[in-house]
Amino acid sequence: MIGSDSVIHCEGLSKRYRGSLLRRSYLALDSLDLQVKRGEVVGYIGPNGAGKTTTIKILMGLHRQTSGRAEILGQPVGSVAARARIGYLPERPYFYDYLTAEEFLHFYGTLYGMSAQSRRQRIDELLPLVKIEHARKIPLRKFSKGMLQRVGLAQALINRPELVVLDEPSSGLDPMGRMLIRDVIFELKRQGVTVLFCSHILSDVEDICDRVAILVKGKLVKLAAVDSLIQETMHSVEVTVRGFTTEELSKISAEQPILLTPERATFSTPDHESATELVRRALDQNLKVASIKPRRETLESLFVEHYTAEDQDRGANPEGNQR
């Protein structure tokens, strides 16, 4: 047994899809090392085709890796023991649309061998959590995309899993739908559930995750705590003050404001310390501090950076990773 304190443990995990007469084989996942500890929420991000779903399918025992090792909760992936403790929302879940929301969840609960009473109890907990209590008796064919996604989420939680794996849960949802997914993940975190959450939308994972793993073309290019990533990508802190005279402004900073109107002056400072110092001086002058905003590169730009670097590498080797 490897990494028994890890909920997910991948070591040198690779997947090469076999080619056909017309298509060359394709290395979709290249030597992934990834460990997820109990209670962690990890965002697994990368552009379309990066290999996120491939990784998840291997972890769920739906695809076999070409090489490397993968264990979940100390068990080899695909084992019945491991599966019973995992909740999984696929990228494109299939819904038996003649069933009502409630029947659908009962059906999944039965697959996990739950008794009628524990299914009822769990469904009563889950429907309010995903906010579809009002629609429990309605057939799924009448559900909107957002409502279906919530049923999918409830299905992934029916067996009170210790690990929840969500493949692009917010994809195609409106802001309200996204917010709900986020709230549910927060609640899972509060309960100590481990979550692996795939997305190509980086801002989705920024707020929720403890750590972020960035996958580009099958390769893990970054694995970092969200906080340190935010720190790393921060390039300035902007402080805006109100209610000043020109003389007071010159007292709080030697630098000129980057933005000046009769009501507001915004200064750019290099870091939090200098921003704090500027705020202190502004307060000493009895000015009002309107806002303090860290300016940083978004995770998107970080990821584009890697993407471009990778693409340039591929330019030097036009065969890319195809063989």
Ligand X SMILES: Nc1ncnc2c1ncn2[C@@H]1O[C@H](COP(=O)(O)OP(=O)(O)O)[C@@H](O)[C@H]1O
Cβ 49 to ligand X shortest distance, Å: 4
Q: Does 307 bind ligand X (CB under 6 A)?
A: no
CA distances from 202 to 92, 216, 245 (A): 20, 13, 42
DSSP letter (8 states) at residue 197: E
CB-nearer residue toward ligand X: 136 or 314: 314
How many residues of this chain bind Mg ion (CB under 5 A)?
A: 3
How many residues of this chain bind ligand X (CB under 6 A)?
A: 11
CB-nearer residue toward Mg ion: 49 or 76: 49
Q: Does 53 bind Mg ion (CB under 5 A)?
A: yes
In the region spanning residues 90 to 119, those forming contacts with Mg ion, defined by CB under 5 A, are: 91
By CB atoms closer than 10 A (0-12, 13-18, 19+), residue 294 is: middle
Q: What is the secondary structure of 216-279 as a DSSP string?
A: ETTEEEEEEEHHHHHHHHEEEEEEEEES--HHHHHHH-SSPPSEE-SSEEEEEESSHHHHHHHH
Structure tokens at 253: 């900073």
Q: Which of 8, 14, 26, 72 binds ligand X (CB under 6 A)?
A: 26
In the region spanning residues 31 to 70, those forming contacts with ligand X, defined by CB under 6 A, are: 46, 48-54
CB-nearer residue toward ligand X: 50 or 158: 50
CB 27 within 8 A of CB 19: no
- H/E element holding 308? helix 299-316
Q: Does 149 bind Mg ion (CB under 5 A)?
A: no
CB-nearer residue toward Mg ion: 52 or 219: 52
Q: What is the secondary structure of 28-48 as a DSSP string?
A: EEEEEEEEEETT-EEEEE--T
Cβ 12 to ligand X shortest distance, Å: 17
Cβ 89 to Mg ion shortest distance, Å: 12
Binding site for Mg ion (CB under 5 A): 52-53, 91
Binding site for ligand X (CB under 6 A): 17, 26, 28, 46, 48-54
